[in-house]
């Protein structure tokens, strides 16, 4: 008997009637997504649900069974103290697991969660709606369906990616929100694709209808109160919105819908990061007041890898948000691709089993079932703080968009869809037939909704109507400047005694803590450099001083990425491990009782989802320094969607900025094509400054930074890195920061700073002038080398080796926005010098393509000089895998940089030359 009941719990969902069209069969063991040949086949009972399979006979149907014998599987029918006839048990199981709602839950390891779901499904009449609840479902469904039909009437040639076919999503979402709020949720972050977005904005978010209709008429570019155009805008089905709104029980909830691109599922980790940030700032340590909800399409949920990456963050300490409600708007098609070709698994939701999430499948033509399941999902999330999936199975009434012809590729499906009534007709007819509502009441409610839509349309048509000025940023950004308001940089220097106090704290451990002996020496050296010698401060120490000083000033600091706690190159050691019991100690969280929190987390082996998560975290609140560090700079390319669609362009498209810092280890050190290049050129290509125009420059360069979409910086000293991190916070505006960070320089004896460079009114230097003490007078300098980053140390060593005194080496630390003024000043300072740009990257990579026209512009009105290129040949691969070729290339760069009569030419290597270098 237990096996028989278990078969329904495990596989009952295969017999559910959750396809409104009745054409797709999810049971892959029968026929993968086959079109059902007959109703008889659809209604037949498979062997695994046939009582005869388990040894029962027809005579046993009247036999009574006592079901309170199971110890492990209690919950629902199993564990009931009443005796049940076999035929009653079969009926209960069919109603529980084979109706319009199916559930997959036996993959969940937690028995309490399994039993909770059993108890919800196996009780009789599991969802019944009283008159008030029924009218609420009907009203919400009317607004959902008629919103789409209204838009179709008014804008029949406009793409809107309507919800028709999964219309019950709207009453379902509102039921979910109602339940979540009753259970303590105060804030909900939502992410979703374009399908149905306008309907969600109108009917769930309650965005004013006249604003939406105005966007259909006039587009989505808006202006501020002074009339400045705000960004480039985006199509209306990408836009976000934020609203504080009451539920039907008059409890208020804050709802935020994230803006997103057409890159499906890319917004998922953004939503999770925003929710986690809200939980941090509101003190929601139980993760019950701030919740995330993500909507998906069926093909995208199964097909996009970021779905799995984001799911895997769900129960990791540094990234969990206490459970996300995932809602699949299942059209049973992906653009023109049938389900049987868009995945290999029975359901589009199977990826969610990897994290033990319960999965509810529901027929989209049964609005009451949808509302019950959505409420159940909210209850599960609040009870167990775990991800849960609701798969609303419907269809797509039109093509991929409203002007697309679906009959080209799915003729049989769309013949059925054309004959299929919409869910409002199905539901209202059912209510009228059951006597639960009158036809007159239905028509009255429909007329009321149409009146609302028409009044909004007339308001939007009014020539004097204008939407309210767009908010540049969210509520937490109040007081921060837009690009039209000049900001300011505050001082980044820190008092000497504060620095030394931090130095003491970060180089000490609690009494009895068994630190590794190598780290013990490292910490002694750290303390000695900061507190005793006041010099020799390395990169990792400078970073700790920057973090520590911000923490003491009340700024929350978060650092995330692969192996960031120790650091890929073992330079950070932000988390110390006791060598006997593995307890952890974080020095930066033990500076002062009144400090802000330092959060440092090793991420899972993901870039796409983790970078998106950190961006969402940074977008939510500007009062924190949020850093993501790549294990190696080139690994960021697997997160390219986040960089392209959000970081570099989000402020211009959606007026959503961030101060996120990306730390990208970079340097050509003979390690091969991988891990040498952070692909600096890609970030510079995305920068939106004009290479032919010198912007208004002032001492701080603030205006120039505010005008660009992001900063790209390649600091070469620990002190400059220190000021760079602090500058990111010590100003009243925010811009993303792409920081090219070092590898070998982390321990380079020349790459150290004096403590004096951290205080005494010091600050970030966009350009570092030549530091050679015995260089010839400025007018006698014959060559001015401009460079950036690690290559400076090779050039400086070569100059010392050659005993050259008439070559000046100047470092461009901030590449974008370009320091036109400083470069111009250097050219004037050395009037007789020819100008070289030297880089270690290939000709078609690195900064050369970006700096060449800007150097020319900087010198255009001064002396008309041009810069000559010195560096590697153009190449497809960033770096060679041969140590011999690497050394030959470096030697050639250094030779060319100091050659008296240099002429750029392609390098050609002979095997004999390389072998001789190897022998040396």
Q: Which helix (H) or strand (E) holds 556?
A: strand 556-561
* Mean pLDDT for the stretch of residues 413-422: 95
Residue 29 has pLDDT above 60, yes or no: no
- Taking Cα atoms as reference points, which of 839, 901, 902 lies closest to residue 871? 839
Q: Are 878 and 845 in contact (CB under 8 A)?
A: yes
**C-alpha dist (Å) from residue 603 to 278, 563, 608, 629:** 20, 7, 11, 10
Q: Are 636 and 738 in contact (CB under 8 A)?
A: no
Residue 917 has pLDDT above 60, yes or no: no
Predicted confidence band of residue 123 (pLDDT cuts 50, 70, 90) = confident
**Domains, the chain, with CATH or none:** 2-99 (1.10.287.1150), 131-465 (3.40.50.970), 496-666+714-758 (3.40.50.12470), 770-919 (3.40.50.11610)
Task: Please name every residue paired with 731 in a beta bridge, in sequence order, or none if there are none.
Answer: 489
Q: Are 752 and 853 in contact (CB under 8 A)?
A: no
For the chain, what is the mean pLDDT? 92
Report the C-alpha gap between 60 and 73 in whole angstroms. Answer: 23
Q: Which of 141-155, 456-470, 687-701 has the highest mean pLDDT?
A: 141-155
Question: Residue 466: what pLDDT?
Answer: 83
Judged by average pLDDT, the poorest of 282-286, 639-643, 693-697, 913-917 is 913-917
**C-alpha dist (Å) from residue 468 to 214, 232, 465:** 11, 17, 9
**C-alpha dist (Å) from residue 752 to 379, 525, 536, 720:** 56, 13, 5, 11
Block residue for tokens 């199509």: 235
The pTM assigned to this predicted structure is 0.94
State pLDDT tens for residues 252-284.
999 999 999 999 999 999 999 999 999 999 999
State pLDDT tens for residues 384-397.
999 999 999 999 99
Beta-carbon contacts of 270 under 8 Å, excluding residues fewer than 6 positions away, are 191, 258, 260, 612, 613, 615, 616, 619, 642, 646
* Mean pLDDT for the stretch of residues 296-308: 96
Q: Are 169 and 370 in contact (CB under 8 A)?
A: yes
Using the 8-state DSSP alphabet, how is residue 644 labeled? I
Tokens (6 digits) for 492: 């980044």
* Mean pLDDT for the stretch of residues 642-648: 96
Residue 907 has pLDDT above 80, yes or no: no
Question: Residue 901: what pLDDT?
Answer: 81
3-class secondary structure, 864: coil
* Mean pLDDT for the stretch of residues 296-323: 97
Q: Which of 18-32, 33-47, 434-448 has the highest mean pLDDT?
A: 434-448
* H helix and E strand count, the chain: 30, 26
**C-alpha dist (Å) from residue 575 to 116, 172, 205, 831, 869:** 39, 45, 42, 51, 43
Predicted confidence band of residue 223 (pLDDT cuts 50, 70, 90) = low
Beta-carbon contacts of 98 under 8 Å, excluding residues fewer than 6 positions away, are 8, 12, 13, 15, 16, 17, 49
Task: Please name every residue paired with 629 in a beta bridge, in sequence order, or none if there are none.
Answer: 561, 663
Report the C-alpha gap between 247 and 249 in whole angstroms. Answer: 5
* Mean pLDDT for the stretch of residues 855-863: 92
Q: Are 742 and 751 in contact (CB under 8 A)?
A: yes
Question: Residue 458: what pLDDT?
Answer: 95
State pLDDT tens for residues 568-608.
999 999 999 999 999 999 999 999 999 999 999 999 999 99
């Amino acid at each position: 008997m237990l096996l028989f009941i278990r078969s329904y719990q495990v596989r009952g969902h295969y017999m559910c009637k959750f396809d409104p069209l009745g054409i797709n069969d999810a049971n892959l063991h029968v026929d993968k997504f086959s079109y059902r040949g007959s109703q008889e086949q659809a209604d037949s009972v498979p062997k695994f649900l046939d009582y005869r399979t388990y040894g029962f006979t027809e005579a046993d149907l009247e036999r009574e069974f006592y079901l309170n014998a199971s110890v492990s599987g209690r919950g629902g029918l199993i564990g009931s103290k009443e005796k049940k006839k076999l035929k009653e048990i079969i009926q209960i199981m069919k109603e529980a697991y084979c109706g319009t709602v199916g559930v997959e839950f036996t993959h969940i390891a937690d028995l309490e969660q399994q039993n909770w779901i059993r108890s919800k499904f196996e009780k009789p009449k599991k969802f019944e709606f009283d008159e008030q609840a029924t009218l609420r479902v009907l009203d919400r469904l009317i607004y959902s369906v008629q919103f789409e039909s209204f838009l179709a009437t008014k804008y029949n040639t406009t793409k809107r990616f309507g919800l028709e076919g999964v219309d019950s999503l709207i009453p379902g979402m509102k039921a979910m929100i109602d339940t979540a709020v009753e259970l303590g949720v105060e804030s909900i972050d939502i992410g979703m694709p374009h399908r149905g977005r306008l309907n969600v904005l109108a009917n769930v978010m309650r965005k004013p209808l006249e604003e939406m209709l105005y966007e259909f008429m006039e587009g989505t570019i808006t202006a501020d109160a002074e009339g400045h155009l705000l960004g480039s805008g985006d199509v209306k089905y990408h836009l976000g919105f934020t609203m504080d709104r009451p539920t039907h029980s008059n409890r208020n909830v804050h709802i935020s819908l994230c803006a997103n691109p057409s890159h499906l599922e890319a917004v998922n980790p953004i939503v999770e990061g925003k929710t986690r940030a809200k939980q941090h700032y509101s003190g929601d340590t139980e993760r019950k007041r701030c919740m995330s909800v993500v909507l998906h399409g069926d093909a995208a949920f199964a097909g996009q890898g970021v779905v799995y990456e984001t799911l895997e963050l769900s129960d990791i300490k540094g990234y969990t948000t206490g459970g996300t409600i995932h809602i699949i708007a299942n059209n049973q098609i992906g653009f023109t691709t049938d389900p049987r070709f868009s995945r290999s698994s029975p359901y589009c939701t199977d990826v969610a089993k990897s994290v033990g999430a319960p999965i509810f499948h529901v027929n989209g033509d049964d609005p009451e079932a949808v509302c019950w399941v959505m409420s159940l999902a909210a209850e599960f999330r609040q009870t167990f703080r775990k991800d849960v999936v609701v798969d609303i199975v419907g269809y797509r009434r039109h093509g991929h968009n409203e002007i697309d012809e679906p009959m080209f590729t799915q003729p049989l499906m769309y013949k059925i869809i054309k004959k299929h009534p919409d869910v409002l007709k199905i539901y209202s007819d059912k209510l009228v037939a059951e006597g639960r509502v009158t036809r007159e009441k239905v028509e009255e409610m429909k007329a009321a909704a149409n009146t609302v839509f028409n009044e909004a349309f007339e308001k939007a048509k009014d020539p004097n109507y204008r939407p309210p000025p767009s908010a540049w940023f969210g509520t937490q950004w109040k007081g921060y400047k837009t690009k039209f308001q000049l900001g300011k940089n505050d001082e980044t220097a820190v008092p000497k005694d504060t620095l030394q106090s931090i130095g003491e704290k970060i180089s000490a451990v609690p009494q009895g803590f068994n630190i590794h002996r190598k780290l013990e020496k490292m910490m002694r050296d750290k303390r000695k450099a900061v507190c005793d010698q006041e010099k020799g401060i390395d990169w990792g120490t400078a970073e700790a001083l920057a973090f520590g000083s911000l923490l003491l000033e009340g700024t929350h600091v978060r650092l995330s990425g692969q192996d960031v706690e120790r650091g890929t190159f073992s330079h950070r050691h932000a988390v110390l491990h006791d060598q006997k019991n593995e307890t952890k100690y974080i020095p930066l969280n033990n500076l002062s009782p009144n400090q802000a929190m330092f959060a440092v987390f090793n991420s899972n082996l993901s870039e796409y989802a983790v970078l998106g998560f950190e961006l969402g975290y940074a977008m939510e609140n500007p009062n924190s320094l949020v850093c993501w560090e790549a294990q190696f700079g080139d690994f960021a390319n697997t997160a390219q969607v986040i960089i392209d669609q959000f970081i570099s362009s989000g402020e211009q498209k959606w007026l959503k900025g961030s101060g996120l810092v990306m730390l990208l280890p970079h340097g050509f050190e003979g390690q091969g094509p991988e891990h040498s290049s952070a692909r600096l050129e890609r970030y510079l290509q995305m920068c939106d400054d004009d290479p032919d125009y010198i912007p208004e420059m002032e001492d701080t360069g603030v205006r120039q930074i505010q005008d660009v979409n992001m900063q790209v910086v390649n600091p070469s000293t620990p002190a400059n890195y220190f000021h760079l991190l602090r500058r990111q916070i010590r100003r009243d505006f925010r811009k993303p920061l792409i920081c090219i960070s070092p590898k070998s320089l982390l321990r380079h004896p020349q790459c150290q700073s004096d403590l004096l460079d951290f205080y005494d009114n010091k600050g970030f230097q966009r350009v570092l002038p030549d530091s050679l003490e015995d260089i010839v007078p400025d007018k006698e300098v014959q060559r001015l080398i401009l460079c950036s980053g690690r290559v400076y140390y090779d050039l400086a060593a070569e100059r010392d080796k050659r005993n050259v005194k008439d070559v000046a080496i100047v470092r461009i630390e901030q590449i974008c926005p370009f320091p036109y003024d400083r470069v111009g000043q250097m050219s004037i300072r050395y009037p007789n010098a020819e100008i070289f740009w030297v880089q270690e990257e290939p000709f078609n990579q690195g900064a050369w393509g970006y700096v060449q026209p800007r150097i020319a512009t900087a010198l255009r009105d001064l002396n008309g000089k041009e810069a000559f290129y010195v560096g590697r040949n153009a190449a497809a691969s960033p770096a060679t895998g041969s140590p011999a070729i690497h050394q030959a290339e470096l030697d050639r760069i250094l030779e060319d940089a100091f050659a008296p009569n240099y002429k750029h030419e392609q390098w050609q290597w002979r095997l004999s030359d390389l072998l001789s270098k190897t022998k040396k």
